[in-house]
Amino acid sequence: ESVFRGTADLDSLLGKDLGALRDIVINANPAHPPLSLLVLHALLCQRYQVLSSVHVHSSVSAVPPPLLSCLGPQHIDSYARQRFQLGFTLIWKDVSKLQMKFNTQSMCPIEGEASVARFLFRLLSAEPQDPVAATQMDCWIDTAVFQLAEGGSKERAAMLRSLNSALGRSPWLLGQEFSLADIVCACCVLRAGQTTSAAANIQRWLKSCQNLCHFDCVNPLLQ
Amino acid sequence: MALNLTINSSNPPLGALLTAEHVKGSVNLSVEEGKDTMLHVSDKVQFSDVNSITRYLARVAPALGLYGSNMMEQTEVDHWLEFSARRLCGQSDLSSALGDLDKALALRTFLVGHSVTLADLCVWAALKGNGESQAKPNSYPHLCRWFSFLSSQVPFSSVGSKWASKISAIKATPVEK
C-alpha cells in the first residue's frame, strides 16, 4: 500500500490527455545513477499504470546490468501503449547534468535531479499544502544536493549533523509525515556510503525509509 | 503574522529583494538591513538561503502566480531557480548558460508561462549581480530583449538602481584575506 493517498488524477494535474502516452524521458549519466528518481518511479508504479523502459544511448559504451534492470522487468505488453497512463523512459547517456524532457511543446527541458524529483513527487499529489512545510521540504532537498552530493567533506559533515539533530526531534524530516525530503536526503546518504558510521538518528531513519520497500530498487545499485 | 526579511547589505540578495517588492501589497512584510540574509517567519521557522526565501514568499502570496499556475510551470520555475543558483552565480565564464537562456527566450516574453514568475526574478537578479556585462546584444538578442524589458519596469528598475550600484562597488573593492 502506498504511503501517499492524494486523490488527484493525471488529467487534472497535467491537463487533458490528447490521446498520446504522456512520456517522461530522462537522460542520466550511468556514473551518477539518480537513486531518488528510482524510488519515485516505484511510488508512481503503485499509483498509475506506468510503461517503464531503459535504453542505452550510443554515447555510452557499456552499462552494468543493475542499471539496465533498475526499473524492473520489461513489460511484455509494451506494444499496447494506450493501456498505460504514464511512460517512464530512462536513457543512460553521457550527459553532464541529468535532464528530463516532458511535454516539450510547452515545457523547457528540466535540468538536475532535484527539479525532476519535485516534478515526479507532484504527480503523486503529496506535496505539503502548508507553505512552511513545503518550503522546508525544498530547503532539505537543496541542501542534500548541494552539500551532501556535491559538497566537500566539511559541508557533508555539517549536513549530516543537521540531519541527525532534526531526526532526533521527529521520525521524518518534516515531522510526522514521510516526504520527498526524506527520499532525496536518504538517497544522498546512501550514495555517500557512510551508512554504518552514521549517527544513531540517521541510522534509525534510514532503516525506516528502507522498511517502506520503495527503496528496494536502490539496493542493487549500491553494491 | 508579520514577516521580517533581514538582508546582508554588503552582499544584497537581489532575488529576495525583488520577490519582497512583488509580494509587499499582499503580504505583511518588513525589510531591513543587517548582517545576514534571513527571512524570519516565526521563532521556530527561519529561511536563510535565497531560493527558500523566494519560494516561501511566492507560496504565501499564491494569487500573484509567482510559482507558476500549474505543476508543469512550477517545475520550470524550479529548473530556473537551480539554474540561477548554479550556472549564473559564482561562475566566471557564463557563455554556455547565456546561450541556453537565449535559446529558451527565443519564443517567450517571460521565462515561464505568460506572466512574471520567480524564474524571471531570480535569473534577472543573478545576471544583474554577475553576468550583465557578458550579455552582449549581438550574441544573445533574445536574452537582451527580455533583460531590458524587465529592467525598465518597477520594481526591477527601483531594486536595480538601489542595490546594483552597491554590488558593483563591492566587486570593485579588492577582497581582503
Secondary structure in 3-state letters for chain A: CCCCCCCCCHHHHHCCCCCCCEEEEEEECCCCCCHHHHHHHHHHHHHCCEEEEEEECCCCCCCCHHHHCCCCCCCCCCCCHHHCCEEEEEEECCCCCCEEECCCCCCCCEECHHHHHHHHHHHCCCCCCCHHHHHHHHHHHHHHHHHHHCCCHHHHHHHHHHHHHHHHHCCECCECCCCHHHHHHHHHHHHHCCCCCCCHHHHHHHHHHHHCCCCHHHHHHHC
Dig out the grid coordinates for B145 from the structure.
530583449
Residues B59, A138: C-beta atoms closer than 8 Å:
no
Cis check for the bond before B62: say yes or no (omega within 30 of 0).
Answer: no
Residues A118, B75: C-beta atoms closer than 8 Å:
yes
Residues in chain B: 177
Reported ipTM: 0.93
| Residue A1, pLDDT score | 47
Q: Which of A3-7, A69-73, A134-138, B158-162 has the lowest mean pLDDT?
A: A3-7
CA B55 to chain A, closest CA, distance in angstroms equals 6
* The pLDDT of residue A161 is above 60: yes
| Residue A7, pLDDT score | 63
Supply φ then ψ for residue B68, to 5 degrees.
Answer: 85, 165
CA A149 to chain B, closest CA, distance in angstroms equals 14
B49 touches chain A (CB under 8 A): yes
**Chain A, chain B: beta-carbon pairs less than 8 Å apart:** 63
| Residue A152, pLDDT score | 86
Ranges of chain B whose pLDDT falls below 70:
1, 131, 168, 170-177
B26 touches chain A (CB under 8 A): no
| Residue A5, pLDDT score | 64
At CB < 8 Å, which residues of chain A contact B?
13-15, 102-103, 106-108, 110-112, 114-115, 118-119, 122-123, 131-132, 134-136, 138-139, 142
Cβ atoms B25, B60 nearer than 8 A: no
B70 touches chain A (CB under 8 A): yes
Taking CA atoms, what residue in A is nearest to B73?
A107
| Residue A73, pLDDT score | 83
Q: Mean pLDDT of all residues in chain A? A: 91
Taking CA atoms, what residue in A is nearest to B57?
A131
| Cα A56 to the center of its chain, rounded Å | 20
For the sheet with A110-111, list strands across it: A50-56, A86-92, A22-28, A99-101, A110-111
Of B116, B128, B123, B102, the C-alpha closest to B50 is: B123
| Residue B26, pLDDT score | 95
Q: Which residues of A are less than 8 Å from B47 in CB distance?
A: 135, 139
Taking CA atoms, what residue in B is nearest to A146?
B86
Q: Which residues of B are less than 8 Å from A119 in CB distance?
A: 71, 75, 78
Taking CA atoms, what residue in A is nearest to B83?
A111
Residues B60, A111: C-beta atoms closer than 8 Å:
no
* The pLDDT of residue A150 is above 60: yes
Give percent of chain B above pLDDT 90.
76
Q: Which residues of B are less than 8 Å from A107 in CB distance?
A: 72, 75-76
Q: Which residues of A are less than 8 Å from B103 in CB distance?
A: none
pLDDT in tens, A181-193: 999 999 999 988 8
Residues B72, A142: C-beta atoms closer than 8 Å:
no
CA B43 to chain A, closest CA, distance in angstroms equals 13
Residues B82, A107: C-beta atoms closer than 8 Å:
no
Of B119, B101, B88, B113, the C-alpha closest to B22 is: B119
Enumerate residues 6+ apart whose C-beta is below 8 A from B152: none
